[in-house]
Amino acid sequence: MAGNEFLTTSQITYEAARVLVNSLTGAAHCSREYDSQFAVSGAKIGDTINVRKPPRFVVRTGRNAAIRDITETFVALTLSTQAGVDLNWSSKDATLSIDNFSRRILRPAVAPIANKIDEDFFALYDRVYNATGTPGTVPSAISTYLDAGARLSEEAAPKDDERFMVVNPLSEARIVDALKGLFHEGTSITRQYRYGSMGGMAHGFNWYMGQNVTTHTVGALGGTPLVNGGSQTGASLVTDGWSNSITGLLKKGDIFTVAGVRAVNPQSRLSTGALRQFVVTADVDSNGSGQATLSIDPPITISGASQTVTGSPADNAALTVLGAANTVSPQNLAFHRDFAVLGMADLSMPSNVAGSRVTDDELGISMRVVEQYSIIEDISILRIDVLYGYAVVYPSLACRIAA
């Protein structure tokens, strides 16, 4: 008679990694990068990966050459989060098949890790300056989502099958209801009818429902905000006309436009015709005279390869903030895969415990599982860890859909 087969740490690690990848939503569809430089020494919280951005150039016209320097830029991705789950399991558990062990123990254990990674992905919304929809109103028309696709195209996002739309449960329910009478290919309409979900490719996006879509609260606002001084450029904007001495006037993640300041296509530098949307990158208070200096993205850049707008705002140009004061709004997200990158690196492997580590360059993941046996209690302590961080590479390749 064959003897019992005990699960090994290596088997558990590979299965845990598989469960993790299959449990991600938003994070599964951004770029992922595994950095092998830490394979021997092990990475620590605070270590940095540099993600290279391709250079942009200005086209030449005519016969004479116009030599441009090649300026490569990097986005620093800090490995900021170590997340994991710790559990104990008995010798009896160790005799389970890997399928049984995965269903009973690993899936519930890995789900919170995937949840945390996804939460941090959706928290990147406050770096995104393009937006459609009305804060406080759940979209019920497909035009709101089509407008998000148009905004990505205006920002030169590739028109390919790597555009994704992730919406919260209520937004999904409303749009499925709105589309119930329209034509869809068979698989899409079947999914909507049977499961009440979008799913699959529709209207230019691969659709997913995300339970970790982040909620944003608009600032307190107040007054009639205006640009304070013409010809301003850069990543800050001096304004006045706000109500006096307002704490939390604008919150990080608030979006606004400036009268007369229009967006440009990043490749052609031609006006898109739409007002450029700016996102506030730090909380703002007004002073006793109703003045406030806003930190913004994208920077106001009026020429060159990084041009973002048709021109500088005029003195006393009016600001319009998206949403009413203190409105709470889920931030659904439309994005191209190149919008952000999830980076992972190898954690060090302790020498005094049994352990295994899975790394996959193609999937861009690294996971460590270590085990230590207690002879007194006849149990094994199992620890599952990942080390990761995010960087927004191209904020222009995403668009928020307010709900």
The CATH number covering residue 248 comes to: 2.40.30
The amino acid at residue 74 is F
- Mean pLDDT for all residues in the chain: 87
Residue 398, domain member (yes or no): no
Q: 74 in helix, strand or coil?
A: strand
Angle between helices 142-154 and 169-178 (to 10 degrees): 110
Of 274, 292, 326, the one marking the end of a domain is 326
Range in 3-7, 20-24, 180-184, 254-258 with the lowest mean pLDDT: 3-7
Residue 115, domain member (yes or no): yes
Same domain? For 108 and 132 the reply is: no
Same domain? For 103 and 168 the reply is: no
Please give the residue range of the domain that contains residue 255.
Answer: 219-326
Same domain? For 110 and 27 the reply is: yes
Same domain? For 16 and 46 the reply is: yes
Confidence band, pLDDT 50/70/90 cuts, at residue 402: very high
In this prediction, residue 190 carries a pLDDT of 52
Tokens of 9: 């740490």
Residue 61, domain member (yes or no): no
More confidently predicted of 401 and 21: 401
Residue 63, domain member (yes or no): no
The amino acid at residue 373 is Y
Confidence band, pLDDT 50/70/90 cuts, at residue 136: very high
Residue 371, domain member (yes or no): yes
**What is the CATH classification number for the domain harbouring 208?**
3.30.2320
Confidence band, pLDDT 50/70/90 cuts, at residue 271: very high
Of 326, 350, 373, the one marking the end of a domain is 326
Residue 27, domain member (yes or no): yes
> In terms of Cα–Cα distance, which of 109, 110, 82 is closest to 389?
82
Confidence band, pLDDT 50/70/90 cuts, at residue 268: confident
Model pTM score: 0.86
Q: CA-to-CA distance for 93 and 5, rounded, in angstroms?
A: 11
Arithmetic mean of pLDDT, 124-131: 98
More confidently predicted of 233 and 37: 233
Tokens of 393: 């590479």
Q: CA-to-CA distance for 105 and 84, rounded, in angstroms?
A: 14
In this prediction, residue 189 carries a pLDDT of 52
In this prediction, residue 250 carries a pLDDT of 98
Same domain? For 233 and 203 the reply is: no
Tokens of 172: 């999904």
Are residues 341 and 52 in contact, defined by beta-carbon separation less than 8 angstroms?
no
In this prediction, residue 390 carries a pLDDT of 95
In this prediction, residue 199 carries a pLDDT of 59
Range in 129-138, 308-317, 377-386 with the lowest mean pLDDT: 377-386
Same domain? For 297 and 371 the reply is: no
Residue count of the chain, please give it: 403
The amino acid at residue 188 is S
pLDDT above 70: residue 94: no
Same domain? For 51 and 88 the reply is: yes
Same domain? For 17 and 120 the reply is: yes
pLDDT above 50: residue 137: yes
Same domain? For 203 and 286 the reply is: no
Q: CA-to-CA distance for 171 and 83, rounded, in angstroms?
A: 29
Residue 4, domain member (yes or no): no
In this prediction, residue 186 carries a pLDDT of 54
Arithmetic mean of pLDDT, 57-86: 78
Per-residue pLDDT of 354-393, as tens digits, reads 778 888 887 788 999 888 877 777 787 888 999 999 999 9
Arithmetic mean of pLDDT, 120-142: 96
Confidence band, pLDDT 50/70/90 cuts, at residue 54: low
Arithmetic mean of pLDDT, 347-353: 83
Same domain? For 26 and 118 the reply is: yes
Confidence band, pLDDT 50/70/90 cuts, at residue 95: low
The total of other beta-carbon atoms located within 10 Å of residue 184's CB is 17
Number of domains in the chain: 3
In this prediction, residue 150 carries a pLDDT of 96
Same domain? For 120 and 19 the reply is: yes
In this prediction, residue 305 carries a pLDDT of 83
Arithmetic mean of pLDDT, 25-40: 85
In this prediction, residue 188 carries a pLDDT of 53
Percentage of residues in the chain with pLDDT exceeding 70? 88
Are residues 203 and 152 in contact, defined by beta-carbon separation less than 8 angstroms?
no
Same domain? For 21 and 92 the reply is: yes
Of 297, 326, 355, the one marking the end of a domain is 326
In this prediction, residue 378 carries a pLDDT of 77
Residue 95, domain member (yes or no): yes
Arithmetic mean of pLDDT, 303-321: 95
